[in-house]
Amino acid sequence: MNAHTPPYLGAAYYPEAWPDQEMDRDIEWMKRAGMNVMRLGEFAWGRMEGREGTFDFDWLHQAVERLAAAGIATVLGTPTCTPPAWLSQRYPEILAVGADGRACQHGARRHACPNSPVFREHCRRIVTRMAREFGRDSNVIGWQIDNEVYPKGPRGCCCPVCLAAFRQAMRERFGDIAALNAAWGLDLWSMAYCDFDQLPAPRMDTWHHPSLLTAWMRFQSDSQVRFVAFQTEILRDFTAAPISTDMMYFNGVDYHDMFASLDLVQHNNYHQVDNLWHEAFWADFCRPLKDRPFWISETATCWNGATFAERYKQEGFCRANTWLPIALGAEMNLYWPWRTHWAGQELCHSAMLSSAGRPYHVFEEVRQIAEGLGKAGEFLCGTRPAGSGLAVHFSGLAWWMFEFQPMVKDFKYLPRLLEDFYGPMIRSQLRPDVIAPAADVESYRLICSPYLPSLEEAGVGPRMLEWVERGGTWIVGPFSDVRTAEATKYRHAPLGCLEDWAGAFVRYSLPGDPRSFALRWADGVESGGSVWFDALEPRGSEAMATYTEGPLAGLAAVTQRQVGKGRIVLLGTVPVAGDFQRLLLGLAAAAGIAPVAEASANLMVVPRRGRAGEGVIAVELANQPAQLTLPRPARDLLTGLGHSGQVQVKPYGVMVLAF
């Protein structure tokens, strides 16, 4: 593979941690593994600026040049995740303050406040110096800002700078304190404020109002977004290479907002044997955020680990784990790290080489992956995953709302979204995009919006209604339209606008704790729901499923209504997986959306189209045999063999099938 042409396969490399004379041996092993890119620098501020204002980039230039001589490109990371000890000691005001009121200490990561003006100036200086040194270097094919950007701890930074900035943000949002009190309903419990300066940083020892908590975390997200945008603006003056930042698969930052100012999407993938398919969700979310392939900036070759190793993966997992996001639209995969650390907090993580410089057992598997990427490179670069017309909404605001008011016992937003809705979609061989509420919806014909508490977010409600009127099919609920953007209930009705739009009056609602209630579908299938039970009275809609017991008996569980040229399907409960699959497949067929393949549920099949032709990439996700029926003869670019009809896929197998 070429160092300046995707697909890219590589790792995170830390030359600052190893004797210089070992680099040649490392690079020789990189060449044997077939790697063509390395990520450098994201934790090396102390090596770049050992004393304030004294810079040393010679070692980094040598690393970039020696890699380039071996045909290996570089992605450079700005080092602002790990400010050096002299900075923390000389300017302690930069340190983030936790929700317990205590300032962070030097010695880990993300211990500085992103809003601190002092910290910002030091960041400006180091990023500017890096950009001047490497901005025109053709061997640097991309820039990563910071590392795993998200708020520190459960409430982010609670320092005086952040608190003042939060209060100012609330002034700008509400104008006067009376408006905030009214929006949050603060007459209850005498919580009303007389002035914005009374707003607290929400410490962990107080039972805080959910509207305050939600607003605070939205502010924390905005702070991180601004911090990344601040560095992006510096880099743009010096480089034409793409700029991004690597994001983790947990809550803290609004991904849609974060990547708005960046050139591409980066994502870190650390999924396990039992939830490898969750990575498909994140790939399906990364792909629509930008009109270009995304990068996997970190993943494990085998087990994860910090001071102990955990979750060894079986042979073949690395292959499936690497190919899955590539199939779904990535053009880069970086393992973390290249070489296991010999000291520090993460010295037990798997890698390509051990601390002693010896290849791990997975080395040959990675070499074969590189060989396969080379064989399929023209097809991968010349095709993109084909759109299906199906999407499912995913919201950072919803994640925060459910964190601070779960609504039913033990409800966790992302696991429920995955298990109840996304999982049935992919097991049915439907290929969804995962989209934010702010995303454009014009290219979709069927959209599912479960667990979307506020339809006020990004004006998604009115936009979806217009989309339905033009012919879209909208599956919405449960727990959708149940909160304002300020995390409060509506007072005129249980739902803000869906009763009117869907033609269904919510008589009352019951939690699914500790029991569920039976229902019957219109075709006579007896089944049940779960989690939550809205008792729906059709008013202009028709019942698709009706409760058969308890105080819900005779009332609708699921309704549908024609609206303009489209229709709204309102879910008053969570259908069991089989019922949702049947409902989804029927609605998809009516919308002109068919399963992408006849295949086993454990097989991810991704259609690809483009100037290089058409085909599918199949990745087995559960370490079990799988079958795929091809619509026409194809050739596997990895083996060169031709196939037709039913094809057997090995456990953790990968096939790149060109028609």
Asked if residue 382 lies in contact with residue 612, where contact means CB atoms within 8 angstroms, the answer is yes
Residue 249, in any domain of the structure: yes
pLDDT, position 63: 98
Q: Mark whether 318 and 462 lie in a shared domain.
A: no
Q: How many helices (H) and strands (E) does the chain have?
A: 18, 31
Asked if residue 203 lies in contact with residue 155, where contact means CB atoms within 8 angstroms, the answer is yes
Segments forming the whole domain that contains residue 641: 602-658
Q: Mark whether 335 and 398 lie in a shared domain.
A: no
Residue 2 has pLDDT above 90, yes or no: no
Domain boundary among 565, 590, 615: 590
Supply the CATH number for residue 466's domain: 3.40.50.880
> If you average pLDDT over residues 488-514, what whole number do you get?
97
pLDDT, position 198: 98
SS3 87: helix
Could you tell me the two tokens for 603? 């097989």
Instruction: Give the whole-number percent of the chain exceeding pLDDT 70.
Output: 100
> If you average pLDDT over residues 456-484, what whole number do you get?
98
What gap in Å lies between CA 573 and CA 290, rounded to an integer?
Answer: 33
Give 602's pLDDT tier (boundaries 50, 70, 90).
Answer: very high
pLDDT, position 199: 98
Residue 112, in any domain of the structure: yes
> If you average pLDDT over residues 598-605, what whole number do you get?
98
Residue 147 has pLDDT above 90, yes or no: yes
Q: Mark whether 356 and 407 lie in a shared domain.
A: no
Residue 1 has pLDDT above 90, yes or no: no
Q: Mark whether 554 and 616 lie in a shared domain.
A: no
Q: Mark whether 579 and 639 lie in a shared domain.
A: no
Domain boundary among 530, 561, 590: 590
Residue 432 has pLDDT above 90, yes or no: yes
* DSSP character at residue 188: G
> If you average pLDDT over residues 408-429, what whole number do you get?
97
pLDDT, position 341: 96
Q: Mark whether 317 and 394 lie in a shared domain.
A: no
Residue 416 has pLDDT above 90, yes or no: yes
What gap in Å lies between CA 653 and CA 634, rounded to an integer?
Answer: 17
Domain boundary among 547, 562, 590: 590
Q: Mark whether 442 and 557 lie in a shared domain.
A: yes
Supply the CATH number for residue 654's domain: 2.60.40.1180
Q: Mark whether 32 and 144 lie in a shared domain.
A: yes
Q: Mark whether 366 and 438 lie in a shared domain.
A: no
Cα distances (Å, whole numbers) of residue 236 to 76, 133, 320, 442, 537? 14, 14, 36, 31, 56
Q: Mark whether 575 and 647 lie in a shared domain.
A: no
Supply the CATH number for residue 26's domain: 3.20.20.80
Residue 298, in any domain of the structure: yes
* DSSP character at residue 234: H
pLDDT, position 250: 82
pLDDT, position 3: 81
Residue 152 has pLDDT above 90, yes or no: no
Residue 612 has pLDDT above 90, yes or no: yes
Residue 364, in any domain of the structure: yes
pLDDT, position 249: 87
58-69 and 117-134 helices cross at what angle (nearest 10)?
A: 40
Helices (H), 14-57: 23-33, 45-48
Residue 190, in any domain of the structure: no
Q: Single out the residue of 209, 287, 568, 580 nearest to residue 425, CA to CA.
A: 580
Cα distances (Å, whole numbers) of residue 373 to 333, 337, 392? 11, 20, 30
Instruction: Note the pLDDT tens digit of each residue in 81-137.
Output: 999 999 999 999 999 999 999 999 998 899 999 999 999 999 999 999 999 999 999
Cα distances (Å, whole numbers) of residue 376 to 298, 327, 640, 651? 22, 11, 10, 20
Residue 192, in any domain of the structure: no
Residue 160, in any domain of the structure: no
Number of domains composing the chain: 3
Residue 250, in any domain of the structure: yes
Q: Mark whether 560 and 474 lie in a shared domain.
A: yes
* DSSP character at residue 15: G
pTM of structure: 0.97
Q: Mark whether 611 and 647 lie in a shared domain.
A: yes
Instruction: Note the pLDDT tens digit of each residue in 219-273.
Output: 999 999 999 999 999 999 999 999 999 999 888 899 999 999 999 999 999 999 9
